[in-house]
Amino acid sequence: MVSSRFLALPSILVGLSTPGLAQRSVLDLTADRSVARADGRSNVVLSARVFVGGQPATDGTIIRFAASGGRFDQDEVTTRGGIARVSLIAPNSVGQVRVTASVVGGSNAVPASVNVDFVDDATFKLQVVSTWLTVRSDDDLVYAVNAGTSGRRLLGGYSENGLVMASNGAITIRGNALQVDVVSGIVVAAGSVRITSGKAETTATRVQWNPMRRVLVAELESGAVVSLDPISLLAKPIGQSLASDTFKIVDQSTADVSVVSHEVSLELGGDYNLLFRHARLLVDGQTLAVLPLHRMSVYQRTLFRDQLLGFASTGLTVDVPYTYQATRSGTGVVHLRRGAQFGSSAVARRTGWGVDIEQQYRSRLGNGTFQVLNVQDGRRGSRLQHTSRFGSRADASVFVDVPNGKDIYGSLQGGYQLPFARVGMFQTASRFVGSSNVQIDQGFTDYRQQLSIESNPFQLGLPGWMATVSAVNTTQRTVAAAATTRSMADSYGTRLIRAPQKVTPKWLYSQVVSLNYVDVVGLTGGGLAAQSSSTFRTALTPSSNFQWTYDYLQQPQLVTLTTVSTPKHRLSFAYDWTTPSGGSVFVNSTQGLDINQSSTSASISMPLRKDWELRVNRMDSQLGLTRFRDTEFGVVKLVDGRAIGAYYSTTAKQLQIDFTGGVRF
C-alpha cells in the first residue's frame, strides 16, 4: 500500500495553477508512422490536436512546427476542428528526428513533441514487419532487469528435461538453459541443444542465434565452432575467433525486478512488445501482482506502463487498464480514464472521464492499431494505422483519422521494388465538415499525390561514391469556399551518396548531395533545387555518442507547392550518454544559420540516492521573433514497491502527482 503521508497531497495541490491564465489548453502531437526511409523524399504526416477547456480549439488557431532534421511543407498551420497537419519530408541522412509543435498566441498549452526514425532501406525492411520470437518452458521463464548486469533486459529459463525452447518461423531451439537479450533479440542456448528448421535437425552443446539477421553459430560436441545454414542446418567452419561471451548465460537470480511466466512472446521489430501469459510480477523477490495477461514494451521503465492514480490542481486523474487480449495475433486494452495524459508532457491531461479502446492486430495481411477514444460521448474519435509487406518487394501503409465522428483525414503510402528501381506512391486527402462558428473550408479541403521512381544505387568513378537518378510528380488540389486551386510539379534529378568513412581513428564522415530540376505547372515557380547533408559522428566513450550535421538547401519557389521558410544553411547536433547506474542525457538541437529558426530538446535522467530519481525535459523552439520554451521537472521515488512521480511544467504552471502500478527499473 502507498504510505498515508502521500494521500494528503491533493489538499496541498489545490490552487497551484496560475489564476491569470484562461481556460486550460492541451496540445497533442502524433505521426502517421514512426519509421520512414531517409531518402530526402518520403513523407511523414504530423497531426497536432489542440483542446481548450476540453473542447477543440477555435478554427484558425496557429500551430508552429519545428524539427531537428528534414523539412516541412509548411512551418505554420491554422487549425480546422482543433487539428493542424503538416508533412515532414525525410532528410537524406539516417537518424532520429525530433518534431515539436507549439501554439502561437499566449496559450498555456505545453509544447508537444514526437520522434520519427529515418533509416536506410535494409533497416526499413526489418522494422516495417513485426518478427515474433516465442519462448516456452516446462518450468518458469524469468524476465529480469538487474543493475548488476548494466541494466541488461534478459529473458531466460532452465529445464532439467531440455524443454526450454525458442522458436521463430521454421527454426526452433531447445536446451537445458536458454536466454534472450530482449533488446538485441539474440538467443543463447546451452546443454543438450537441439536445433530444428523444417525437417532438418542437428545437435550442439551451445548455440547463439540472431533471428533478425538469420545467423546461427554453434559449438559442436567436438569443440569446433561452426556457422549453420538457417534452412538446411549444414555446418561451415568459422575462421575468425569469437568473443568470450558469445555463448554466455548471465546469472538472473539477483534481479531487482522480474516477471515470471511459462510462455512469453517477444516482438523483435516494430514496437518491441513483450507478451506474458499468467505473469507474476516480483520486486526484490516479493510478489507485487499476478495477472492472466500482461503486455509491456522492451524499453518501458515501469512494470505497469500506465499511471493508475494521480492528483493535480485540476483534480483527480485515473488510468485503469484492462488487457483483454495479449497474443501474437493481437493485443487489446480498455482504459477507464479521467484526466488522461494527452500530450508528451506529464501535465498535459485531457479533461473529464473517458473510455478508450486500443486494439493491435497482426495477420498475414499486415499489422496495425485501431483506437476508439471517448467511447461514451459525442467527442468520440477513431484512428487506424496499418502496415503491410507483400513478399520482399512491396510494402504499404494506411493511416485514417476520424477525430470527431464527421471530419476525416487519410494517408496512403506504398512502394514496389523493381529489378532496377523502386517505385513509390504517397497520397493524402482530408474532408472538413466544420466544428465551430467560423467555417473556413468545406468538402475535400486538401488532396495531394506524389508518384516517384528512383533507380537502385550504382557505382560512380569516384572511390566510395554511389548515385541514384529519380523522377517525381507531385499534384495538389485545395478547396477554399467555392474556389478550387490545382497545381503540379515535376522533378528530375540525382542523389550522390558517400559511404561512411573514417577521417580520424574515432570520427566517421558521410555525405549526401541531391540535385534536381523542378518544373511547376499551375503556379509561378520552379527551377534548380540542391540539397547537401554532411554528417560527422563519433563514439566519445563506450556509453556516449556525438553527431553533428550541416545541411544546405537551395530550392525554387513552390517546390513543395506550399510556403516554405526552411533555412538555407542549418547546423544540427545530437548527443546521448547513459550510465550503468541508470543516468542518461539526450540532447537534439538544430539551428538555422541564415534564418532565426531553431529547435532544441533535451532529456536528463539522474539517480539522486536510493529509490530517488530526477528527470528534466527541456523544449525550446524559435521562428523569427516568436519563441516557445518549456521545462518540465520530475522527481520519482519508490514507496512500498510503487513508483510515485511529481512533475511540474513551467509553461502550464501546474503540478502533477502520479502513482504508477509498478516499480521503475
Q: Delimit the domains of the chain by residue range.
A: 4-126+296-660, 131-268
Read off the pLDDT of residues 616-646 as tens digits, 9 standing for 90 and up: 999 998 887 788 889 999 998 877 767 888 9
All three cell numbers of 654, joined, read 501546474
The backbone torsions φ and ψ at residue 637, rounded to the nearest 5 degrees and listed phi first, read -135, 140
H-type alpha helices, 188-279? none
| 80-134 confidence digits (pLDDT tens) | 888 999 999 998 888 889 999 999 887 888 999 999 989 888 777 766 666 788 9
| Matching residue, cell 480514464 | 337
pLDDT at 176: 92
For the cut 60, the answer to whether the pLDDT of residue 454 exceeds it is yes
pLDDT value at residue 14? 36
pLDDT tens, 166-192?
998 889 999 999 999 888 889 999 988
Helix (H) or strand (E) holding 124: helix 121-127
By three-state DSSP, how is residue 148 classified? helix
CB 98 within 8 A of CB 91: no
H helices of 329-375, in order, are none
CA-based end-to-end distance of the chain: 19
pLDDT at 389: 85
**Contact (Cβ atoms closer than 8 angstroms) between residue 664 and residue 636:** yes
- Cα(80)–Cα(49) distance, rounded to whole angstroms? 10
Read off φ and ψ for residue 17, nearest 5 degrees.
-70, 155
Q: Can you tell me which residue has the cell 542523389?
A: 495
Give the mean model confidence (pLDDT) for residues 391-397: 88
Beta bridge partners of 356: 335
Q: What is the DSSP letter of 13?
A: H
The per-residue pLDDT for 146 is 62
Integer-rounded Cα radius of gyration of the chain: 26
> Quick one: CA dihedral 116, 118, 119, 125, positive or negative?
positive
Q: Which helix (H) or strand (E) holds 9?
A: helix 9-13
C-alpha cell at position 165: 525452447
Contacts of 213 (CB under 8 A, 6+ apart): none
Q: How far apart are CA 273 and CA 279, in angstroms?
A: 15
The three cell numbers of residue 4 are: 498515508
**408 grid coordinates:** 476525416
Cα–Cα distance for residue pair 24/165, rounded to 1 Å: 53
Say which residue, 5 or 541, is predicted with more confidence. Answer: 541
pLDDT band at 307 (very low <50, low <70, confident <90, very high): confident
Instruction: Pick 307 or 77 by higher pLDDT.
Output: 77
- Output the DSSP codes for 264-278: EEEE-STT-EEEEEE
Q: Which residues contact 149 (CB under 8 A, 6 or more apart)?
A: 250
> Which triple of cell numbers denotes residue 229?
545454414
> In whole angstroms, what is the distance from residue 70 CA to residue 39 CA?
10
Most confident of 365-379, 426-440, 442-456, 483-497: 483-497
| Beta strands at 112-119 and 235-237: parallel, antiparallel or unpaired | unpaired
- Please determine, for residue 393, whether its predicted confidence score (pLDDT) is greater than 70: yes
| 410 residue type, one letter | G
Over range 224-236, report the average pLDDT: 89
> Would you state the cell numbers that stand for residue 533, as one nine-digit string?
547533408
Q: What is the mean pLDDT of residues 593-615?
A: 87
C-alpha span between 208 and 219 (Å, rounded): 9
- Cα–Cα distance for residue pair 267/132, rounded to 1 Å: 5
Longest dimension (CA), the chain: 81
Check residue 2 and give its pLDDT.
Answer: 35
> CA angle at residue 528 from 525 to 530, to 5 degrees?
125
Nearest CA-CA partner of 268 in 170, 197, 167, 174: 167
Q: Taking the model in full, what pTM does it have?
A: 0.81
User: Other C-beta atoms within 10 Å of 138: how many?
Assistant: 13
Query: 25 or 129: which carries more pLDDT confidence?
Result: 25
Mean pLDDT for all residues in the chain: 83
CB-hemisphere CA count at 13 Å for 448?
21
With H, G, I as helix, E, B as strand and everything else as coil, classify residue 25: strand
CB burial readout 517-556, b (16+ within 10 A) else e? ebebeeeebbeebebbbbbbbeeeeeeeebbebebebebb
- How distant, in Å, are the alpha carbons of 322, 533, 536 from that of 76? 39, 24, 31
Region 51-80 average pLDDT: 86
Locus of grid cell 546461427: 216
Q: Where are the beta strands (DSSP E) in 569-611?
A: 569-578, 584-592, 597-609
Instruction: Evaluate whether 388 touches 396 at the Cβ level (below 8 Å).
Output: yes
- pLDDT value for 22: 53
Selected residue with higher pLDDT from 217 and 298 = 217
**Spatial CB neighbours of 661, under 8 Å, sequence gap ≥ 6:** 289, 302, 303, 304, 306, 307, 308, 642
**Considering only 219-228, 473-482, 651-660, which range has the smallest mean pLDDT?**
473-482
Give CA torsion, residues 449, 453, 456, 461, to 10 deg. Answer: -110
- The pLDDT, as a whole number, for residue 11 is 35
Domain 131-268: which CATH class?
A: mainly beta
CA separation for the pair 658, 640 (Å, rounded): 15
Dist. CA 339–CA 332, nearest whole Å? 21
* Residue 310 CA from chain centroid, whole number: 26
